Amino acid sequence: MVEKSCFFCGDAGLLECEGCNGKVVACSPGHLYLHKRGSGPCFPWLVIEQPDVGRCMVTSRRVKAGETLFMEEPVVVGPNQTGSAICLSCYSSLPQPADYLCSRCSYPLCGPDCELNTIHKDECRILARGSPPVFKEDEPTEAYHCILPLRLVLLSRSDPEKYDLVRALMDHEEERCKGEDWKTTERTVVQHILDNCKARDIEKFTEQELRRAIGVLEVNSYEVHSFVSCGYRGCYPTASLLSHGCVANSRHIWNTEPPYTNTCIATVDIEAGTEVITSYAAPTECSLFRRKKFEDGWYFTCLCERCKSADELGTEFNTIRCTQCTKPELRMADTNNTQSDWSCSACNKSESYESVRERISGLFNKIKQISLKDRYSMESWLNILEETEKIVHSHHAAIIEICKWLLPILCRAADKQSEEYPVSLMEKKLRLSQIYREVLDVIDPGISKSRAKALYENLETDIFLTMSRGISVSEIKVQKWIQGCQQIVFIFDTLGQNPGFESIMFRNAGTIIQRLQLMVKTYEQLEKRGLMNGTAVQEFKEQWSFLELWRWQPR
């Protein structure tokens, strides 16, 4: 009899999956649970070894967009390394200074109930032996650096089977020990826990296991939720199998309530045997900044198809204007070298990587300041847009970032109707939303909230301008509008909607579908009676703006 290997870790397989008729085996119930939950369907993935990639996840069959690839809970969860005060038990954001401190270790908590929570019990015993944490107003604290590594080491003692899930995860210690972060974590985690908190003598913790915990968490953790000033993250072993690609085919949906389940879905249709890819950075970062993040945080140079493409897969997402000829033709000369000089394809002028980075960093800093201090000012965003268009290509990441903030407020206010804005401004919104949509269709395809929002802004503006002009609309265009709104509804239905803007957008997309279908039905009836010619839209030209659509009720 041929011994089968565990589908997850490669050890001897002892348990067969009944749902797969023995095709998949696991070494333990914990590993089998990653493949199948109870009476539910088997998750459609396997682990294989690939050259230059190592262990990675591939689909075991064809997977449709929106289908669940896997679900899992974190091995450990805890606060981000830096940030303002956050409760160590329930992860609520806390005021600074906090209203309540743990009576033993002095860490901020919500109150006595959170102090007694078992999540905090074991670590509190150790932390209480050390110096109290330091929190200063408007300054990031180092007090949270040690929490998650301490929890992972404690887990190795309390639940070895659960801890075993991280055994195969990489920690990149050889690379990390050369960086500045290593010095910080040696002081704030290793020395603090072993010496200041006396865990070396009492719990018999070692430098090696703490360093291993730090590395595993730095390389393999995902942020579950962010409150802007603070947040919490978890270590998800199955999610850590996903390799990086700057155009992902999967997306994580984080449950922000215990047990913090991660549901990973396919964002596009994926053929059988295809590697499941996630993105370690936001897809809306241009390669000028994106690739440096990978080298600093994950210790690799990304050479995916998008990064190897000087024009970012035809989007020109990283292309800027040449300072000599002013044409938007300045691109990285050698995409295999992340710090290559840049070259203009129109006039052959060269510019150094450092010069380009400094110029574009300054531009993004201006954009960030507006988002922090003046985010609802249409005038401020239009001014920075005008300045940015003189520096970069019209499809550059900086333009897309401006669109993200500008489009939701452009030609939209509670006390004004859409028709009160100049047509030229509405046409500008249509052009920007079209650019936004076209770029995201390439770099963030399929099931993406950003793409849904871009699609909505484009459709609502296009419909409003068409209706307000009383232009005859072909049945093909109406069907395209309907299909676009159906995509929006599907995306928000799959990923959920945040209260407020996203919820209204979700509802409005459904309203547009109803109104367009009603319009088509009405005109079909009129045509049958010989009362009209074509598909004129005079009777339906009102109420196509954001708030009007939200208020609309079918008769």
User: Lowest-pLDDT range, 12-26, 310-324, 376-390, 446-460?
Assistant: 12-26
Does the pLDDT value for residue 199 go beyond 50?
yes
% of the chain beyond a pLDDT of 90? 75
Mean of pLDDT over the chain: 92
Residue 136 is predicted with a pLDDT of 86
Rounded mean pLDDT, 503-523? 89
Rounded mean pLDDT, 130-149? 92
Does the pLDDT value for residue 526 go beyond 80?
no
Residue 173 is predicted with a pLDDT of 92
- Which helix (H) or strand (E) segment holds residue 263: the answer is strand 262-266
Does the pLDDT value for residue 149 go beyond 50?
yes
Rounded mean pLDDT, 473-491? 91
Q: CA separation (Å) from 387 to 376, 400, 402, 452? A: 18, 14, 11, 27
> Which residues pair with residue 86 across a beta bridge?
93
Residue 269 is predicted with a pLDDT of 98
- Which helix (H) or strand (E) segment holds residue 454: the answer is helix 449-468
Peptide bond between residue 97 and the one before it cis (omega within 30 degrees of 0) = yes
Residue 44 is predicted with a pLDDT of 95
Residue 379: CA atoms inside 13 Å, Cβ hemisphere, count? 0
Rounded mean pLDDT, 89-100? 94
The distance from CA 489 to its chain's CA centroid, rounded to whole angstroms, is 19
State how far the Cα of 192 lies from the Cα of 178, in Å rounded to an integer: 20
- Res. 533 pLDDT band, cuts 50 70 90: very low
Q: Which residues contact 32 (CB under 8 A, 6 or more apart)?
A: 15, 17, 26
Rounded mean pLDDT, 138-160? 94
Residue whose entry in the numeric block shows the structure tokens 């929490």: 147
Does the pLDDT value for residue 307 go beyond 70?
yes
Rounded mean pLDDT, 15-38? 89
237 closest CA partner among 15, 424, 76 = 76
Rounded mean pLDDT, 24-50? 90
Residue 395 is predicted with a pLDDT of 98
- Res. 38 pLDDT band, cuts 50 70 90: confident
Strands in 330-332's sheet, in edge-to-edge order, are 330-332, 342-344, 350-351
Model-level pTM? Answer: 0.91
State how far the Cα of 391 lies from the Cα of 380, in Å rounded to an integer: 17
- Res. 531 pLDDT band, cuts 50 70 90: very low
pLDDT tens digits, 340-390: 999 999 999 999 999 999 999 999 999 999 999 999 999 999 999 999 999
Residue 535 is predicted with a pLDDT of 45
Does the pLDDT value for residue 525 go beyond 70?
no
Residue 521 is predicted with a pLDDT of 80
Rounded mean pLDDT, 244-267? 96
User: Lowest-pLDDT range, 91-95, 470-474, 500-504?
Assistant: 470-474
Residue 43 DSSP one-character state: P
State how far the Cα of 315 lies from the Cα of 418, in Å rounded to an integer: 31
User: Lowest-pLDDT range, 120-129, 176-185, 208-217, 341-350?
Assistant: 176-185
Residue 63 is predicted with a pLDDT of 98
Residue 542 is predicted with a pLDDT of 58
State how far the Cα of 65 lies from the Cα of 240, in Å rounded to an integer: 21
